[in-house]
């Protein structure tokens, strides 16, 4: 097992959907090919079209997956926070990254060497089946999320984002700490930045939320769930 990974990270990785169906011996074998990666905020981890050398798990920080148009416009595909994997599917789908990945803030990752992982899987078909079990469960969850988002209007996606990312703080208030600048959040939920600002102001005027920079306090969760802002 990698001596460079913390016990906390190893425990979290052990419970992840990729490794949860594997036995302890198999997990330890994989972790021999894992290593910590530190990346500064704003730094590019990999570019679209680069060969897949590894897949990653986020221990701390936030990774932005995005694509850029020829005109330089950026579309945020996903924001990957602590406890989540990314690039694992790309390892088996042509071997090149379909998106760019950059650190939104200083981040600490765990990189699992792709060539070693594929060679390890090839040694025993049962390992592949265990991996497929975990990835299939994850895929079904993501497909359901995509179906929901596709049917939602932009306003509904904002409301769902706020509800999904809300949690109580030490004072008992229900809050959303925006994990990235508002223009990145807007791209993530598929609205223009000015539309996001307008909708947040409207929610605040209605008394449903209170906006304090990147912190949103939800004042009335029931009304927020029922809100229609169009």
Q: How is 83-139 classified by DSSP, letter by letter?
A: T-EESTTGGGTTTB-SSEEEESSSEEEEEEEHHHHHHHHHT-HHHHHHHHHHHHHHH
> Which CATH number do you get for residue 83?
2.60.120.10
Percent of the chain with pLDDT over 70: 88
Task: Let me know if residue 104 belongs to a domain.
Answer: yes
Q: What are the phi and psi torsion angles at 223 (to 5°)?
A: -70, -35
Task: Let me know if residue 1 belongs to a domain.
Answer: no
Q: Residue 173's pLDDT is what?
A: 84
Domain match, 14 and 124 both? yes
The CA distance from 87 to 52, in Å, is: 8
Task: Let me know if residue 110 belongs to a domain.
Answer: yes
Q: Which residue, 150, 165, 194, sits at the end of a domain?
A: 150
pTM attached to this predicted model: 0.69
Decide if 168 contacts 174 (C-beta within 8 A): yes
The pLDDT tens digits for 92-143 are 887 789 999 999 999 999 999 999 998 988 888 877 776 776 665 555 555 5
The pLDDT tens digits for 55-77 are 999 999 999 999 987 777 888 88
Domain match, 181 and 137 both? no
Task: Let me know if residue 2 belongs to a domain.
Answer: no
Q: Which residue, 108, 128, 150, sits at the end of a domain?
A: 150
Domain that residue 174 falls in: 152-226
> Which CATH number do you get for residue 217?
1.10.10.10
* Average model confidence (pLDDT) across the chain: 84
Task: Let me know if residue 131 belongs to a domain.
Answer: yes
Decide if 89 contacts 143 (C-beta within 8 A): no
**Helices 182-189 + 154-164 axis angle, to 10:** 120
The CA distance from 213 to 94, in Å, is: 41
Domain match, 196 and 94 both? no
The pLDDT tens digits for 147-168 are 555 546 777 888 888 888 888 8
Domain match, 58 and 139 both? yes
Task: Let me know if residue 45 belongs to a domain.
Answer: yes
Q: Residue 57's pLDDT is what?
A: 95
More confident residue, 63 or 190: 63
The pLDDT tens digits for 3-42 are 588 899 999 999 888 888 788 998 999 999 999 999 999 9
Q: Residue 146's pLDDT is what?
A: 55
Task: Let me know if residue 74 belongs to a domain.
Answer: yes
Provide the number of structural domains found in the chain.
2
Q: Residue 107's pLDDT is what?
A: 97
Q: Which residue, 94, 126, 150, sits at the end of a domain?
A: 150
């Amino acid at each position: 097992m990698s001596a460079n990974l913390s016990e906390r990270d190893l425990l979290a990785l052990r419970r992840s959907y990729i490794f949860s169906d594997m036995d302890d011996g198999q997990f330890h074998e994989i972790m021999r090919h894992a290593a910590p990666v530190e990346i500064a905020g704003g730094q590019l981890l990999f570019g679209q079209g680069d060969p897949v050398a590894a897949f990653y798990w986020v221990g701390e920080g936030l990774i932005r997956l995005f694509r850029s148009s020829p005109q330089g416009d950026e579309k945020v595909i996903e924001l990957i926070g602590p406890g989540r994997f990314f690039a694992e599917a790309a390892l088996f789908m042509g071997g090149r990254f379909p998106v760019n990945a950059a650190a939104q803030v200083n981040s600490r990752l765990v990189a699992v060497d792709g060539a070693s992982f594929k060679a390890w899987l090839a040694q025993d078909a049962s390992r592949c089946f265990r991996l497929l079990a975990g990835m299939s469960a994850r895929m079904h969850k993501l497909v359901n999320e995509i179906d929901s988002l596709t049917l939602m209007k932009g306003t509904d996606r904002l409301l769902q984002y706020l509800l999904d990312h809300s949690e109580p703080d030490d004072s008992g208030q229900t809050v959303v700490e925006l994990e990235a600048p508002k223009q990145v959040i807007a791209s993530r939920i598929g609205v223009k930045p000015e539309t996001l600002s307008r909708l947040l102001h409207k929610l605040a005027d209605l008394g449903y939320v209170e906006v304090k920079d990147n912190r949103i306090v939800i004042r009335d969760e029931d009304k927020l769930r029922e809100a229609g802002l169009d």
